[in-house]
Every structure is written in C-alpha cells, then in structure tokens.
A and B are shown apart, each in its own frame.
Chain A
Amino acid sequence: MKMIRSAIVLTFAVVLLSAGAAKAADTETIFKFYCVQCHGAAGNGDGPNVSPDFPVTPRNFNKADEMGKLTDLDIKNVIKEGGPSVSKSPMMPPWGKTLTDGEIDGLIVKLRAFCKCTGPAAK
C-alpha cells in the first residue's frame, strides 16, 4: 500500500516536473541560442564574442546591485529596442523583430533568477 502511494506520488511529481521543464526548456533554448553568444552560459558577460577588443563589457546578469536598478520594463525595453533605449551600448542588439513578447517575458524571469533580485519598486 505504502509502495503504491509512493509510486502515485512519484508519478505526480514526474508529471509536474516535466510540465515545468518543458516551459523552462523553451526559455533555456532561447537564452542559449540568442543571449549566450555575448552574455555567456552563466550570464557573466563573457560569451564567445567577447574578446579583449570588444568595445563594451556585456551585462553580467549575476550582479544584483546592477540588475536591481532595472525594472522588468527596463529589461524588456533593452531586449526589444537594444542598448541605446536605456542609454547603453548599441552592441546590445534590438531583438524586438526577432523574439515575441512572451519569449522576452521568459527571458526576464531567467535574468531575475541569475541576479536573485527584483527591480526597484514601481513609483
């Protein structure tokens, strides 16, 4: 009986996990395909494009002090419109014609997970 109950619980856990994983994989796939090339797999700003002559240091998503200054809307804008939209470098491309709003929202969640931070409270 106990074993059956464990099996049921385990099955539920697997189902729940895989449902979550499918969604996470989507953002993961997008992050890996578009963002890692400059921001690096660990979000440190050290992707394969970043050589000593790279004109700027791509944002390190793990720095809560910097990321904490940005609202989710700031992050959304910079992904959509590129660096200049938040007075940053045009080396950050405008992805607004490439990614959907839903995909960008997923990336914002991913970035918040890196910095373990939220943006400033809305004024």
Chain B
Amino acid sequence: MSASAGFADGAKVFADKGCGGCHYTDGPAKEKTIEDQLAKKGPELWYAGSKFKGEWLGAWLADPQPIRPMKYNSLTDKNAGDHPKLAAAEAGEVKDFLMGLVSKDVPAGVVTPKSNPQGKLIFIKKMPCSGCHKYQTGGKLVGGNTGPSLVDAGVRLNPDWILAYLANAQVFKPVKDMPNFDGILSKPDMEKVAAHVASFTAADAN
C-alpha cells in the first residue's frame, strides 16, 4: 500500500472515529485567546508529522499511555489515561495520515540529539523547564505536572520540532501556559536544549 493510500485511509478512520471532536488537523493555528485554548479538548494535530516520530505514534495509537500527568487543559484533574485505542491496522493508517501533516516551519536536519552539559544546565537550573515538565535524573522521576512529560521526548518527538517550537512557538501554539523563550534564550542555547531534550529516552538517566 502506498503512503498516499495510507494517508487517505487514515483520514477516513480519523473522521469515522470522531477524533476531530478533540483534535483539529487543518492548520494554521486557530486559537487566539485563552478561552479559545481552554475550549479545546485535546492537542492540535495539524503539524503532527513534523512533531512526532512515526514509529512512536503508530505504537501509541494502538496502546495510548498518558503523556501529560494532568488532564488536557486542567490544573485540577489527573490524566485519566482513557484515550481511545485503535486496532493495529487502523493505528497504522491514522499514523500515516497524521505523519503526512507537516509544517513548513520546522527546518529539517538542524538538531542532533545529544546529551550536553550546557543544555542540561539550562533545562534544569537556568530556566524553569523542569518546573512543569517531568524528566528522569539518576533513574528518578522528577519535575512538574502541568506540561507534557519529557521522560521519553527523544523517542516521541522530532528533534527539529523541539527547536522550532522553542524558537517559534507562536506558529504552533499561539496560546499556551509555557513562556515564550524567543528573545530570552539565544538560538545556540535553544539548539543545546533541544539536542539535550531530544536525547531523553524513558530508559536512561538523562
């Protein structure tokens, strides 16, 4: 089956299963106000193909595990881990569809995942990243709860997207409870943080 057939089949499954009830797939970003953001039931997916790694996405759709400790858009409720599950074949098709949704604002081949002391220092000490994001250190799970966990960021996310998001968050999430770092962190520093975060796998000690 060609990728384009997978894309079309996946788009159909996505529509038939009602995924669009929580996720929108047509960019650019629609939300302009905090109210717009809070009205969303799940993350936008119009740049999913630039954000995620396909292998991870296919496996996740077949066996979804919570990425955020808290329920989406909630500061009080824990993530119930009740995201609908897809059968293997459908998961593969929806993955093909979502991986076909790419953004021109994610330059490719910029970030090479690599744990590095400067990136680590910024992530843990200089900047408040760990205040909201979980990560592993020395085999221990630490960090805040209101952002998506970054414990397996290197398995889940396209390293180039991590950088694009840090550098140009407005394109992807115009309204979010994470600070804009454009103008606060230098581009080289962002690259170091992105390389560092992109090296996180659930199995290691970051």
Q: Which residues of A contact B25 (CB under 8 A)?
A: none
Q: Contact check: which of A29, A93, A96, A97 meets B128 at CB < 8 Å?
A: A93
Select one of B34, B38, B127, B182 contacting A90, CB under 8 A. Answer: B127
CA distance A97 to B183 in the complex (A): 7
A33 to B182, CA, bound (A): 20
Q: Tell whether A93 pairs with B179 under 8 Å between CB atoms, given A29-B35, A37-B132.
A: yes
Question: With A and B bound together, what is the CA distance between A82 and B145 in angstroms?
Answer: 20
- Interfacial residues of chain B within 120-160, with CB under 8 A of chain A in the complex: 125-128, 130-132, 142, 144-146
Contact of B70 among A48, A91, A92, A93 (CB under 8 A): A48
* Chain B residues positioned under 8 Å from A49 (CB to CB): 131-132, 144-146
Q: Which of A14-55 contact B (CB under 8 A)?
A: 29-30, 32-34, 36-38, 41, 47-51, 53-55
Q: Which of A70-123 contact B (CB under 8 A)?
A: 82-83, 90-98
Given known A49-B145, A97-B180, contact A30–B34 (CB-CB < 8 A): yes
A49 CA to B125 CA, complexed, in Å: 16
Which residues of B are found within 8 Å of A97, using beta-carbon distances?
179-184
Q: Chain A: interface residue count, which band?
A: 20 to 34
| Bound CA–CA A41/B75 (angstroms) | 9
- For A84, give the chain B residue with the smallest CB separation: B126
Chain A, Cβ-Cβ closest to B126: A90
| Residues B180 and A51 in contact, CB atoms below 8 Å apart | no
Residue B2 lies at the interface, judged by CB distance under 8 Å to chain A: no
Contact A48 B181 (CB under 8 A): no
Q: A34's closest neighbor in chain B, by CB?
A: B177
A residues adjacent to B (C-beta < 8 A): 29-30, 32-34, 36-38, 41, 47-51, 53-55, 82-83, 90-98
**Which 7 pairs, one residue from A and one from B, show the smallest C-beta to C-beta distance?**
A49-B144, A97-B180, A93-B128, A37-B146, A93-B179, A91-B131, A98-B180
22 A-B interface contacts by CB (under 8 A): A29-B34, A29-B35, A32-B75, A33-B38, A34-B177, A37-B75, A37-B146, A41-B75, A47-B146, A49-B132, A49-B145, A54-B131, A83-B128, A90-B125, A90-B126, A93-B127, A93-B128, A93-B131, A93-B179, A94-B179, A97-B181, A97-B183
